[in-house]
Amino acid sequence: MTNFFRLFLFIGIVSLISSCEDDDDNMVLPTQFTVTIENVSTPQTVATDRAMGTVPLSPPTWAVFAAGGDPMFEVGQKANLGTARIAEDGFPDEMLAILGADSNVKSFAAQTSPGGPDNGPAVFAGESVTFTVSAVPGDKFQFETMFVQSNDWFYAFSGGGVELFNGTTPLSGDLTSRVNVYDAGTEQDTAPGTGPDQKPVQDAMATNVGPDEDENIARAADRHNFTIPATNSVIKVTIAPGI
């Protein structure tokens, strides 16, 4: 090893030691949160033969971000391409690019399918996805997952995401009551489980199938008189802080 690299190794070790000394400089170590998103729909949650009337979900895409504006979407605004693609087709790539370019976003990912009974790409009825996020007080969390029995609907937290801490107390428990189903406003709607352009009757890998619409993002129940299943009959979101 050259002296040049020894110097860098030494500096690296000193930085590592100083970053662990939280007593002296009030540095806050991150808290790990375990997030579980479960598909609790059952046959005939939606009155359709498609997927037996269950509501498959797309594998969720999520972000931890510095408190402030939601990096994924805003009710009353046009959907970005990332939200449109998740809401219409369940694919995360465009949203991952948006989150990766946002300096307020501290970490983000798209989860993968858990496999499970359908052995397919979705989070199917009875399946769940669990992942860990790291955050410090002031951070917020948001996710999007497609309501697959729709043209362009997705579940996410209302209010621009959830605060992961109350002061310094980590968020914990069942957060489902803070989840809503939103219409992305990018594809014309038919009632859940109906019509020729919803994901279960499209080519699975196709994108942007169906007539466009040009609306702002809104709660699906605020825009439509369709029968929409209660959120807690489709999805359950829990969070548990660890170390």
Cβ contact 133:64 at 8 Å: yes
| Candidates 55-63, 73-81, 135-143, 175-183; binding stretch for Ca ion (CB under 5 A) | 175-183
Q: How far apart are the first and last CA of the chain?
A: 37
Separation of alpha carbons 40 and 228, rounded Å: 15
Of 197, 217, 220, 237, the one binding Ca ion by CB under 5 A: 197
Cβ contact 234:220 at 8 Å: no
C-beta of 26 vs 225, nearer to Ca ion:
225
Of 65, 183, 193, 237, the one binding Ca ion by CB under 5 A: 183
| Candidates 25-33, 42-50, 166-174, 176-184; binding stretch for Ca ion (CB under 5 A) | 176-184
Q: Is 189 in the site for Ca ion (CB under 5 A)?
A: yes
Amino acid in the structure at residue 189: D
C-beta of 30 vs 200, nearer to Ca ion:
200
Instruction: Indicate the pairing of strand 105-110 with strand 61-66.
Output: antiparallel
Exposed / middle / buried, residue 99 (Cβ in 10 Å: 0-12, 13-18, 19+):
buried
Q: Is 144 in the site for Ca ion (CB under 5 A)?
A: no
Separation of alpha carbons 221 and 198, rounded Å: 18
C-beta of 144 vs 197, nearer to Ca ion:
197
Which phi-psi region, left, alpha or beta, contains residue 24 (left: φ > 0; alpha: ψ -120 to 50)? alpha
What is the pattern of x (binds Ca ion, CB under 5 A) and - over residues 210-229? x-------------------
Separation of alpha carbons 123 and 108, rounded Å: 19
Q: Tell me which residue has its CB nearest to Ca ion.
A: 210
Of 105, 136, 209, 218, the one binding Ca ion by CB under 5 A: 209
Q: Give start and end residues of each alpha helix (H) in the chain.
A: 3-20, 22-25, 81-89, 93-100, 220-223
C-beta of 176 vs 198, nearer to Ca ion:
198
> Minimum CB separation from Ca ion for residue 213, in Å?
5
C-beta of 139 vs 189, nearer to Ca ion:
189
> Minimum CB separation from Ca ion for residue 193, in Å?
13
Q: Is 50 in the site for Ca ion (CB under 5 A)?
A: no
Work out the number of other CB atoms within 10 angstroms of the CB of residue 209.
16
C-beta of 38 vs 197, nearer to Ca ion:
197
C-beta of 65 vs 91, nearer to Ca ion:
91
Residues that bind Ca ion (CB under 5 A): 151-152, 183, 189, 197, 209-210
